Amino acid sequence: MGNSKIIMLSGIYLVLGIYSISYEVADETSFQLSANTANEIQAGQIARSGISLAMENMGTDSLVHTYSDISAEVMCGSVVYSASQIGLPLSQSEITSTGTFNDKTVVVKAVFVYYNNRWRIDRLYIPPTA
């Protein structure tokens, strides 16, 4: 009778131990997924801020259509943005903004159009988050 109780309790402790280890692994996996998603969302926000910085850089000057990479440090991350007019009419320019945060990188593109003495966003291309 005593041996069966020991075997029964050992089995229960074994099951609880396996459950506890599985729970810790699931918890760590969930944490990593949440952290990666948060980093990607933050990188996307930084890339969007690059679009705003590009608009400020172009200002109200209708002659500014292109410029090479400009870097900035924003929100504990970095952004690189540039303007290109390849394949677009004279009144339009394509902005490419790359935001980086904790090794996550997101690229956002926008097409600006010069209208009513200022540059405006005509189209914005934002990649979906993971």
CA distance 100 to 76: 9
pLDDT tier for residue 5 given thresholds of 50, 70 and 90: confident
Q: Which residue has the tokens 């309790």?
A: 9
What is the share, in percent, of the chain residues with pLDDT greater than 70? 97
Asked whether the whole model's pTM tops 0.85, one would answer: no
Predicted local confidence at residue 16, as pLDDT: 74
Return mean pLDDT, the chain: 87
CATH numbers and ranges of domains, the chain: 2-125 (3.30.1300)
pLDDT in tens, 60-114: 777 778 889 999 998 889 999 999 998 989 889 999 999 999 999 999 999 999 9
Handedness of CA 108, 68, 100, 121 (dihedral sign): negative
3-state secondary structure of 4: helix
